[in-house]
Structure 1
Amino acid sequence: MLGESFERKRVMSAPILRRDWASGHLDRVERMIGITIDVVAATLLAVEIVLLAGTVFARYVLKSPVTWVDEIATLAFLWLGMLGVASALRRGLHMRLTFLLSKFSPNRRAGIETLSEVVLLTFLATLLIPAMELAELNHALSSPDLSIPGSVGSMATVVSVLLMIVLLLIRLFRTLSIPAFILAILGAVVAVTVLMLAGPLLSDLGNLNLLLFFGFGVGVLILVGVPIAFSFGTATLAYFLLTSDLPVSVIAGRVNEGMSHFILLTIPLFIFLGYQIQYTGMARAMVDFFSALIGRVRGGLGYVLLCAMYLVSGISGAKAADMAAIGPILAPAMKDRGMREGDIPALLAVSAAAAETIPPSLVLIIIGSVTGVSIAALFTGGLLPAIVSMLALALVVYLRSRNERRGEGRYDFRLIARTFIVALPGLALPLIIRAAVLEGVATATEVATIGIVYVLVVGLATMRTISLKRMAKMLVDTAAMSGAILIIIALAGAMSWALTQSGFASDLVRFMTSLPGGKVSFLAVSIAAFVVLGSVLEGIPAIVLFGPLLFPAAQALGVNQVHYAIVVLLSMGLGLFSPPFGYGYYTACAIAQVSPDAAMKNMIPYLLAFTAAIIIIAAFPWLSTGFL
Structure 2
Amino acid sequence: MSVAAPASSGGRITAPLLRLSDTVAAILLVADLVVVCVSVLLRFLFNAPVEWADDVARGLMVGSSFFGAASALARAENLGVAFFVDMLPVAARRVVDSIGALLVTVVAAYVAFNAIKMGWLTTGQTSGSGLPLEWTFYPMGAGALFMTVFAAEIFCKRSVRDMMAGLLATAVIAGLYLAWDFLSPDSVPSSGTLMLVGFFITLFGGLPIGFALALAALIFIWVEGTLPGVIFAQQMARGIDNFVLLAIPFFILVGYLMEANGMSVRLIELLQRAVGRMRGGLNVVMVMSMVLFSGISGSKMADVAAVGSVLIPAARRSRQNPGSAVALLAASAVMAETIPPCINLIILGFVANLSIGGLFVAGLLPAGLMALALIVLCIILGKRPEPVEDAEPQVPVSGLWSGAIASFGLIFMIFFGFKTGFATATEISAFAAVYAIVIGSIVFRELSFKTAAHSFVQSATRSGLVLFIVAAAQSLAFILTLQQVPHAVGDFMLSLSGSHGVWLFMLLSIVVLIVMGSVLEGAAALIIFGPLLLPVAVKLGIDPLHFGVVLVISMGLGLFAPPLGLGLYGACLIGNVPIEQTIKPILGYLGLLLLCLLVIAFVPAISTALPRALGY
Fold similarity call, TM over 0.5: yes
Deviations 1:364-402 (A, max 9, x none): 000011110111111110101100110111121122015
Match for residue 534 of structure 1 among 517, 523, 527: 517
1:569 aligns with 2:539: no
The alpha carbon displacement at 1:199 in A equals 5.5
Checking the alignment, whether the CA contact within 8 Å between 1:213 and 1:238 is kept in structure 2 is yes
* 1:304-343 correspondence runs (5 A): 304-313=285-294, 315-337=296-318, 339-343=320-324
With over 3 angstroms needed to count, the CA separation of the structure-2 counterparts of 1:470 and 1:406, relative to structure 1, is closer
Checking the alignment, whether the CA contact within 8 Å between 2:79 and 2:566 is kept in structure 1 is no
Match for residue 8 of structure 1 among 4, 9, 19: 4
Match for residue 296 of structure 1 among 271, 277, 280: 277
The alpha carbon displacement at 1:499 in A equals 1.0
With over 3 angstroms needed to count, the CA separation of the structure-2 counterparts of 1:557 and 1:390, relative to structure 1, is same
Deviations 1:435-460 (A, max 9, x none): 32244331111111111111111112
- Cα distance in 2 for partners of 1:469, 1:418 equals 24
Indicate the SS of the match to 1:307. Answer: helix
- Cα distance in 2 for partners of 1:203, 1:366 equals 41
State TM-score, norm by structure 2: 0.91
Which stretches in structure 2 are left out of the alignment for 5+ residues? Answer: 390-394, 612-616
* Structure-2 residue corresponding to 1:3: none
* Structure-2 residue corresponding to 1:14: none
1:221 aligns with 2:237: no
- Cα distance in 2 for partners of 1:487, 1:561 equals 27
With over 3 angstroms needed to count, the CA separation of the structure-2 counterparts of 1:332 and 1:118, relative to structure 1, is closer
1:548 aligns with 2:531: yes
Indicate the SS of the match to 2:333. Answer: helix
* Structure-2 residue corresponding to 1:391: 372
Percent identity reads 32
Checking the alignment, whether the CA contact within 8 Å between 1:286 and 1:427 is kept in structure 2 is no
With over 3 angstroms needed to count, the CA separation of the structure-2 counterparts of 1:619 and 1:487, relative to structure 1, is same
- Cα distance in 2 for partners of 1:193, 1:160 equals 31
Checking the alignment, whether the CA contact within 8 Å between 2:70 and 2:147 is kept in structure 1 is yes
- Cα distance in 2 for partners of 1:64, 1:81 equals 29
* Structure-2 residue corresponding to 1:239: 220
1:376 aligns with 2:350: no
Which letter does structure 2 place at the counterpart of 1:39?
T
With over 3 angstroms needed to count, the CA separation of the structure-2 counterparts of 1:367 and 1:472, relative to structure 1, is same
- Cα distance in 2 for partners of 1:203, 1:55 equals 57
With over 3 angstroms needed to count, the CA separation of the structure-2 counterparts of 1:71 and 1:595, relative to structure 1, is closer
Which letter does structure 2 place at the counterpart of 1:355?
A
With over 3 angstroms needed to count, the CA separation of the structure-2 counterparts of 1:364 and 1:552, relative to structure 1, is same
* Structure-2 residue corresponding to 1:445: 426
Checking the alignment, whether the CA contact within 8 Å between 1:299 and 1:406 is kept in structure 2 is no
* 1:95-114 correspondence runs (5 A): 95-114=79-98
* Structure-1 residue corresponding to 2:459: 478
Checking the alignment, whether the CA contact within 8 Å between 2:414 and 2:428 is kept in structure 1 is yes
The alpha carbon displacement at 1:502 in A equals 0.8
Residues 253-262 or 584-593, more deviating = 584-593
Indicate the SS of the match to 1:124. Answer: helix
Checking the alignment, whether the CA contact within 8 Å between 2:268 and 2:285 is kept in structure 1 is yes
- Cα distance in 1 for partners of 2:56, 2:477 equals 29
The total of aligned residue pairs comes to 603
Deviations 1:451-476 (A, max 9, x none): 11111111122211111111221111
1:149 aligns with 2:132: yes
Which letter does structure 2 place at the counterpart of 1:267?
I
- Cα distance in 1 for partners of 2:330, 2:166 equals 40
Checking the alignment, whether the CA contact within 8 Å between 1:576 and 1:585 is kept in structure 2 is yes
With over 3 angstroms needed to count, the CA separation of the structure-2 counterparts of 1:312 and 1:202, relative to structure 1, is farther
With over 3 angstroms needed to count, the CA separation of the structure-2 counterparts of 1:430 and 1:186, relative to structure 1, is same
* Structure-2 residue corresponding to 1:259: 240
Checking the alignment, whether the CA contact within 8 Å between 1:343 and 1:603 is kept in structure 2 is yes
Deviations 1:249-284 (A, max 9, x none): 211110111121111111111111110000011111
1:586 aligns with 2:569: yes
The alpha carbon displacement at 1:419 in A equals 2.9
- Cα distance in 1 for partners of 2:280, 2:387 equals 7
- Cα distance in 2 for partners of 1:200, 1:450 equals 59
* Structure-1 residue corresponding to 2:13: 29
- Cα distance in 1 for partners of 2:351, 2:284 equals 35
Which letter does structure 2 place at the counterpart of 1:112?
V
State TM-score, norm by structure 1: 0.89
* Structure-2 residue corresponding to 1:20: none
Which stretches in structure 1 are left out of the alignment for 5+ residues? Answer: 1-5, 11-16, 18-23, 409-413
With over 3 angstroms needed to count, the CA separation of the structure-2 counterparts of 1:299 and 1:197, relative to structure 1, is same
Match for residue 255 of structure 2 among 257, 274, 277: 274
* Structure-2 residue corresponding to 1:79: 63
Match for residue 46 of structure 1 among 20, 26, 30: 30
The alpha carbon displacement at 1:207 in A equals 8.4
Which letter does structure 2 place at the counterpart of 1:238?
I
Match for residue 412 of structure 2 among 419, 426, 431: 431
Which letter does structure 1 place at the counterpart of 2:564?
F
The alpha carbon displacement at 1:507 in A equals 0.8
Residues 397-406 or 261-270, more deviating = 397-406
Which letter does structure 1 place at the counterpart of 2:193?
L
Indicate the SS of the match to 1:92. Answer: coil
Indicate the SS of the match to 2:13. Answer: helix
Checking the alignment, whether the CA contact within 8 Å between 2:522 and 2:555 is kept in structure 1 is yes
1:513 aligns with 2:494: yes
Residues 69-78 or 252-261, more deviating = 69-78
CA RMSD of aligned residues (A): 2.8
Deviations 1:61-93 (A, max 9, x none): 333222222222222112111212211211112
- Cα distance in 2 for partners of 1:340, 1:473 equals 33
With over 3 angstroms needed to count, the CA separation of the structure-2 counterparts of 1:199 and 1:285, relative to structure 1, is farther
Match for residue 136 of structure 1 among 105, 116, 120: 120
* Structure-2 residue corresponding to 1:88: 72
With over 3 angstroms needed to count, the CA separation of the structure-2 counterparts of 1:390 and 1:136, relative to structure 1, is same
* Structure-1 residue corresponding to 2:326: 345
Match for residue 193 of structure 2 among 208, 211, 221: 211
- Cα distance in 2 for partners of 1:553, 1:51 equals 39
Deviations 1:472-523 (A, max 9, x none): 2111111111111111111111111211111221110011111133321011
- Cα distance in 1 for partners of 2:205, 2:584 equals 28
The alpha carbon displacement at 1:336 in A equals 4.9
